[in-house]
Amino acid sequence: MDAQAQNTDTQPTTAIVVLGEAMHFKPEAQVISIKLLQREQFRDALEHMAAPDSLEAMHVVIQTKDFTNLYDADAIPEFMPCLKKDADFMVHIVAGENEQVSEEQLDDVKTSLVMAGLRFNGVNYGGIGSMLIAGKKP
């Protein structure tokens, strides 16, 4: 098997971008995991890490308290070339103790997904006020 074929076999198919201190985990080898602490880094999160049309799923995880400072709605179109057709794009907004995801935060994410060219797939409400907003690349 040549080197390029081997590289294709090991190409990650999922990306997880954690904005702020929302969570920490050690992913599988086929998962790109990035933790960002500055809004300016979000736009370039997958640069040099994911090949075009390689990702089947992308997750963005952020706490409600970090949303305003770290979520960049204008960055979402930058990830589109890395997503395969029918790829899932999910934004997890994690509510802290005594917090709720605001309607404004929910609207910002929904709008950013649609403006990036994703098909809005719905909202799932998690425990303690958290939300999962899903989109799919057509």
- How far, in Å, CA of 31 to CA of 27, rounded? 6
Task: Evaluate if residue 84 carries a pLDDT over 90.
Answer: yes
Query: For 3-136, CATH number?
Result: 3.40.50.150
Which of 69, 82, 78 has the alpha carbon at shortest distance from 19? 69
The residue with greater pLDDT, 68 or 25, is 68
The residue with greater pLDDT, 48 or 1, is 48
> What separation in angstroms does the CA of 1 have from each of 7, 11, 21, 22, 30?
10, 15, 41, 41, 20
Question: What's residue 64's pLDDT?
Answer: 93
Task: Evaluate if residue 27 carries a pLDDT over 60.
Answer: no
Question: What's residue 29's pLDDT?
Answer: 53
If you average pLDDT over residues 72-94, what whole number do you get?
95
The residue with greater pLDDT, 6 or 101, is 101
One-letter amino acid at 127 equals: G
Minimum mean pLDDT range among 26-30, 64-68, 83-87? 26-30
Fill in the DSSP letter of residue 118: P
- The model's confidence at residue 21, banded by pLDDT at 50, 70 and 90, is low
Domain positions in the chain: 3-136
Question: What's residue 1's pLDDT?
Answer: 37
User: pTM, whole model, 2 decimals?
Assistant: 0.81
